[in-house]
Amino acid sequence: MFFYESPTVRNLIDFYWQKSTKYLWGWLIFNFIPVSLFTAFALLRIDHERIASGLLAGTIGINSLLLLFEILQITSNFREYTQDAFNFIELVIILVQFVTAGLFWGDALVAIASFFVSLSLLLWYTKILVLLRIIDQLRQLIRMIIEIVTGSLSFMTVIFTYIVAFTILMYQSRKASGTDDLNFWEVALEMYTFGIGSYDDMLYSGVTMPFFIIATILMPLILLNMLIAFMGDIYGKAKDDAVAINAKERIAMISEISSTVIQLRKIFRWINRRTTQGSSQLYYILIAEPYETNEGSAIIETFIEHQSNKMQKYMQDQLELIDSRSKLREDKLQADLDVMKNQMNQFQADLDSLKNQTYQMSELLKKALMIDENA
């Protein structure tokens, strides 16, 4: 995380971000076109089928172009393409659009067509939110939401498993007790609302009552509150790492728009090559005059040899100068060491002399004490 907070990395990211901003805004505006067309199609498909069909055709045309971009990205670098989860969202959106068009023009069941139209709308607006990460405030908020969703997937798996278990449990118990008009999916929806804390205790009696008590303790009371706390921890961690997360998001968007721009340039280059393929081509012949030497001038080899000898002499003089200076420094260092050695010897001699004087003084004191005692 400290890597992204260093001034050098942040300046580099800011530099490339400023260069990529105009392309990101352009790409966002371009994606608003199919979103607007498909939104109008979804609103008009029941009452104005002919107009809706034209709107859907325009959406499919743009989706074909987007599919071409994705194919070019896959062929250019498949490994890098698979590392970005947003690329899979792009593919799902495009495929769902084609399925929706096939169902609409194929006169499929209304319920199935409505499901895919609704799914397409949800995916399209999710993509718009992802592209709106170009705005600083939205980028941090959207990234935190993604971090919370991805971080709580394991916990959501536990809750979903218990919802399935209690759905089967309640369904088979009620069916065994002879409950009329029993529907499995209605029981599943009931257990889902049960899991988020909304339930009617009048629906449970007999065999289902002890499991109702277990479910109230396990799902709404323990798991749901743990999930809320878990999401709070993830949010706090994401907020603490806001600088690094913001840097990563900008790098990802720069990489994504760079890949898109590269694919666009490939397409335009291919189109220009096709249009200019039949045009006449011009060829140029470059003739270089041979180099003529001047006999009166000095020979280049002699000049090089002279410069080489001069350089060798200069290097030798420098080495001798360095050697003499090193020798002087060595002699000076040795003299300093000799002086220090003499000073240490003198200090040791002074210390021995002081020791002898101290001993003599102690002996004199002892003699003086003995004289006083005899007196």
Amino acid at 308: S
Residues 6+ apart with CB under 8 A from 172: none
Q: Which among 367, 361, 365 is positioned nearest to 375, based on CA atoms?
A: 367
Enter the pTM of the model.
0.60
- Is 103:294 a contact under the CB 8 Å cutoff? no
When pLDDT is averaged across residues 336-361 and rounded to a whole number, the result is: 77
Distance of CA 323 to the CA centre of its chain: 56
Q: Which residue has the higher pLDDT, 315 or 365?
A: 315
The DSSP result for 16-74, as a single string, is HHHHHHHHHHHHHHHHHHHHHHHHHHHHHTTT-HHHHHHHHHHHHHHHHHHHHHHHHHH
Give the confidence band of 293 by pLDDT, cuts at 50, 70, 90: very low
Q: Over the stretch 78-127, which tens digit does the pLDDT of each residue have?
A: 777 777 777 788 888 889 889 988 888 887 788 888 898 999 999 889 88
Tell me the range of 57-66, 137-146, 224-233 where mean pLDDT is highest.
57-66
Q: Over the stretch 261-284, which tens digit does the pLDDT of each residue have?
A: 777 777 777 777 766 555 555 555
The whole-angstrom separation of Cα 343 and Cα 71 is 86
Range name among 115-119, 151-155, 254-258, 314-318 with the lowest pLDDT average: 314-318
CA angle, 123 then 124 then 128, to 5°: 115
Q: Which residue has the higher pLDDT, 33 or 175?
A: 33
pLDDT at residue 90 in the model: 84
Long-range contacts at 72-81 (CB < 8 A, ≥ 24 apart): 72/263, 72/266, 72/267, 73/259, 73/260, 73/263, 76/259, 76/262, 76/263, 77/259
The whole-angstrom separation of Cα 61 and Cα 104 is 16
pLDDT above 90: residue 181: no
CA angle, 87 then 89 then 92, to 5°: 115
Which tokens is 261 given? Answer: 């721009």
pLDDT above 70: residue 365: no
pLDDT at residue 61 in the model: 92
pLDDT at residue 294 in the model: 47
Amino acid at 184: F
Instruction: Express as a percent the part of the chain with pLDDT over 70.
Output: 85
pLDDT above 90: residue 372: no
Q: How buried is residue 217: exposed, middle or buried, by Cβ count under 10 Å (0-12/13-18/19+)? A: exposed
pLDDT above 90: residue 17: no
pLDDT above 80: residue 211: yes
pLDDT at residue 288 in the model: 46
pLDDT above 80: residue 160: yes
Q: How buried is residue 252: exposed, middle or buried, by Cβ count under 10 Å (0-12/13-18/19+)? A: middle
Provide the residue ranges of all domains of the chain, joining segments of one domain with +. 2-134, 152-270
